[in-house]
Structure 1
Amino acid sequence: MAAMNTKSTKFGGKLNLSSHVKYEHLVAGISGGVTSTLILHPLDLIKIRFAVNDGRTTTVPQYSSLSSAFSTIFRQEGFRGLYKGVTPNIWGSGSSWGLYFMFYNTIKTFIQGGNTTQPLGPTLHMLAAAESGVLTLILTNPIWVVKTRLCLQYGAETSSKHTEYRGMVDALAQIYRKEGVRGLYRGFVPGILGVSHGALQFMTYEEMKNYYNTYRKLPIDTKLATSEYLAFAAISKLIAAAATYPYQVIRARMQDHHLNYTSSWDCIKQTWRYEGAVGFYKGIQASLTRVLPATMITFVIYENVSHYLLQRSKTKT
């Protein structure tokens, strides 16, 4: 935060961080996250099931491909099976995107000293995004643990040693009762490492927008066309996903109640020992199939909703 204080003073901005909070970003982020989740949750569920399949756990179903996974889950578990874990996913995605966008824009505006036309550069964009990611993860990690476990209930649990969860609230209560706060924060360490994913994505996205508007000789906060938001969102997500996907595999395995790892490092060692480098990229096809359209939907909705709400707020004042 020291770097931010220096930068904020340099641009003559207010040092009161709360004065830069715009709840329009929260609402817009929630709108985008919820919409993309409702449309694409089945792909998220399949990605998680691929990610935790270490080839050594007999209770984990085996799928040969994305289409095989989809048809098998639909045949064995029905349409509802494809939407297992959707409730915490909606809560998680909605709150995560909403909080992330709100934190990010608050910190970014704070660094800019309230001048949204002031360019930051890659380093400060990554700093703002990383700090936003950590704050968001602290608040939402329990929701992601619940979502992962609900997605990994393969029909009726046949083994008495595996807990069956009846829904989001029941899962939260059972995890807390049996595993304590630590259970709700499983996967937190690889999640922290995964903050680099969001930081890299937002830095790339912001820099592309800024460069494009500068090229057009317009202020960097000028609203773009929908097609331009779609293109920049897709490119930034591809770059971030390719660079940071392994942490998602480790995080999912740490949160899976069928698997038993003593720590994130133990999970990394076992994955490398038994599966090699390819083990860290299991589920990436399903992930990219889901995250690209999800990111594009989320960012387009966010940009348009936030622009509309901020303009309406200005006209009222």
Structure 2
Amino acid sequence: MCLQYGTGSPANAQFVGMWETLNNVYRLEGVRGLYRGFLPGVFGISHGALQFMAYEELKTLYNKHRNQPIDTRLTTMEYLTFAALSKMFAAATTYPYQVVRSRLQEQHRSYNGVWDCIKQIWVRESFRGMFKGLNAYMLHIVPNIMIVFGIYEAVLNIHAEMRLEQDLASAEE
């Protein structure tokens, strides 16, 4: 539905809802059309793994640099900074898969698979083509992840405080 541009031929059919879109894609392109861009999308799973790895590694390295135990609680600003940096790292590392996936799903150019798509992007747009739209993407996701990780760390902190209170209450008994 995001990739609709015009009307006219069946290749440019306009879809108004999810079920109509699924039905028409299946009718026009078959099962293969429903899974166009799936393979590059699978690589998107690595994005979250890289992000969490970078986030935890940044916290650990920072505490080691300060000669603190690695599980020392940080300030909210430090958590937000590490969330932003880890997201920027993961996004910059994995963004080309999103470009390829989007291009494969687009109906206005034909590709013969993932490698053909990558080759066409490279020939027409070079290295920059693989990162087209990254700046706008960063403006969207970095504040979002800062909020998510801020909440994540706040919940972890609340949980740690509750455990400490339970341990103190158990010790008093």
Task: Please report the TM-score for the alignment, with normalisation by the length of structure 2.
Answer: 0.74
264-273 vs 284-293, greater mean Cα deviation: 284-293
How far residue 151 of structure 1 moved from its aligned partner, in angstroms, is: 2.4
Which sections of structure 1, spanning at least 5 residues, go unmatched? Answer: 1-149
2-structure distance, mates of 1:226, 1:283: 30
2-structure distance, mates of 1:304, 1:187: 37
Counterpart code for 2:80: L
Q: Which residue in 1 is equivalent to 2:119?
A: 269
1:277–1:163 Cα change, 3 Å: same
Is the aligned partner of 1:199 residue 2:69? Answer: no
Deviation digits for residues 154-182 of structure 1, max 9, x if unmatched?
4xx32232121212333234334444443
1-structure distance, mates of 2:156, 2:22: 32
1-structure distance, mates of 2:38, 2:23: 19
How far residue 219 of structure 1 moved from its aligned partner, in angstroms, is: 5.8
How far residue 194 of structure 1 moved from its aligned partner, in angstroms, is: 3.6
1:313–1:171 Cα change, 3 Å: farther
1:223–1:163 Cα change, 3 Å: farther
Tell whether the 8 Å contact from 2:100 to 2:118 is kept in structure 1 after alignment: yes
1-structure distance, mates of 2:73, 2:26: 45
Q: Which residue in 2 is equivalent to 1:13?
A: none
2-structure distance, mates of 1:303, 1:259: 44
Q: Which residue in 2 is equivalent to 1:253?
A: 103
Q: Which residue in 2 is equivalent to 1:236?
A: 86
1-structure distance, mates of 2:33, 2:161: 43
Deviation digits for residues 256-299 of structure 1, max 9, x if unmatched?
23332120111011111222222112112211222222222232
Higher relative contact order (CA closer than 8 Å, sequence separation 6+): 1
Q: Which has the greater radius of gyration? A: 2
Which runs of structure 1 show a deviation greater than 4 angstroms over 4 or more consecutive aligned residues?
213-216, 305-308, 310-316
1:165–1:208 Cα change, 3 Å: same
Partner SS for 2:130: helix
Partner SS for 1:276: helix
Counterpart code for 1:158: T
How far residue 238 of structure 1 moved from its aligned partner, in angstroms, is: 1.9
**RMSD of aligned Cα (Å):** 3.0
Is the aligned partner of 1:160 residue 2:12? Answer: no
Q: Which residue in 2 is equivalent to 1:217?
A: 68
